[in-house]
C-alpha cells in the first residue's frame, strides 16, 4: 500500500505541478477579470446609468435618483429635495460614487491599474452593502448570513463571492494578459 500511495502522490504532484507552472502568471488574473466582466460589469454599468441623465452629454449631469440611491438619510434630512443637499461634501460623494461605478469596472475588465481598481470596488461593495442594509430596508432573507444552509442571499452570500473575486485581483493582479501586463513588459519589469 505504501508504494501505491507514493505513486499517487508523485503522480498528483507532477500533474498539478505542470498545470500550476503552465497557468502561473496569466490565468488567474484573466479568469477573475473574465468572471467579473460576465457577472458584475453589466450590473454596475446599468446601475451607474440610472444615476446620470440620458443622452450624449447626460454623462456629465447626475440625476436626483443618484442621491436617493447613494445617500438616502442625507436626502431625507433635506426634506427629500436633492437640490437642497450641499455640494460639499454630499454632492462630491454622489459624483465620486457615480463615476466610480463606471470607471472601476472598466479598469478591471481592461486590466489597467487592476489592483487599485479592485481595491476600490471592494470598498464600493462594502459601502453598497451597508447602504442597502441600513437605509434601503432589505429584509433578513435578502441580507442572509454566512455558514447557514441557504447559499442564495443577495448580500452575505453573493457579495462575499464578489469580494473574494476582487481580492484575487488585489493579491494576484491582472496577469500577463492585460494592459498592466503589457505596460510591465514595455518597462522591462518582472511580473509582480
If one compares 19 and 192, the residue with the highest pLDDT of the two is 19
CA distance 62 to 53: 6
Looking at residue 192, its pLDDT comes to: 59
pLDDT at 102 over 90: yes
Measure Cα distances from 177 to 18, 25, 38, 109, 189 in Å.
20, 9, 17, 11, 15
Q: Contact 168/28 with Cβ under 8 angstroms?
A: yes
pLDDT at 117 over 70: yes
CA distance 121 to 136: 20
Looking at residue 137, its pLDDT comes to: 87
* H or E, element range at 20: helix 2-23
Banded pLDDT at 1 (limits 50, 70, 90) = low
How confident is the model over 27-41, as pLDDT tens digits? 999 999 999 999 999
Looking at residue 191, its pLDDT comes to: 62
Q: Contact 62/52 with Cβ under 8 angstroms?
A: yes
Banded pLDDT at 169 (limits 50, 70, 90) = very high
pTM of the model: 0.90
How confident is the model over 48-91, as pLDDT tens digits? 999 999 998 999 999 999 999 999 999 999 999 999 999 999 99
Amino acid at each position: 500500500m505504501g508504494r501505491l500511495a507514493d505513486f499517487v502522490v508523485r503522480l498528483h504532484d507532477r500533474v498539478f505541478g505542470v498545470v500550476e507552472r503552465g497557468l502561473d502568471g496569466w490565468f488567474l488574473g484573466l479568469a477573475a477579470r473574465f468572471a467579473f466582466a460576465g457577472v458584475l460589469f453589466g450590473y454596475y454599468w446599468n446601475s451607474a446609468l440610472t444615476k446620470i441623465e440620458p443622452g450624449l452629454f447626460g454623462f456629465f449631469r447626475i440625476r436626483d435618483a443618484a442621491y436617493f440611491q447613494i445617500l438616502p438619510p442625507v436626502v431625507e434630512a433635506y426634506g427629500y429635495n436633492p437640490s437642497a443637499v450641499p455640494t460639499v461634501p454630499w454632492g462630491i460623494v454622489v459624483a465620486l460614487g457615480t463615476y466610480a461605478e463606471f470607471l472601476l469596472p472598466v479598469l478591471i475588465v481592461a486590466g489597467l491599474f487592476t489592483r487599485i481598481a479592485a481595491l476600490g470596488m471592494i470598498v464600493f461593495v462594502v459601502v453598497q452593502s451597508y447602504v442597502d442594509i441600513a437605509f434601503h430596508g432589505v429584509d433578513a432573507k435578502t441580507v442572509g448570513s454566512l455558514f447557514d444552509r441557504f447559499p442564495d442571499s443577495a448580500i452575505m452570500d453573493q457579495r462575499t463571492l464578489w469580494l473574494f473575486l476582487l481580492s484575487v485581483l488585489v493579491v494576484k493582479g491582472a496577469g500577463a494578459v492585460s494592459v498592466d501586463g503589457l505596460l510591465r513588459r514595455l518597462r522591462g519589469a518582472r511580473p509582480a
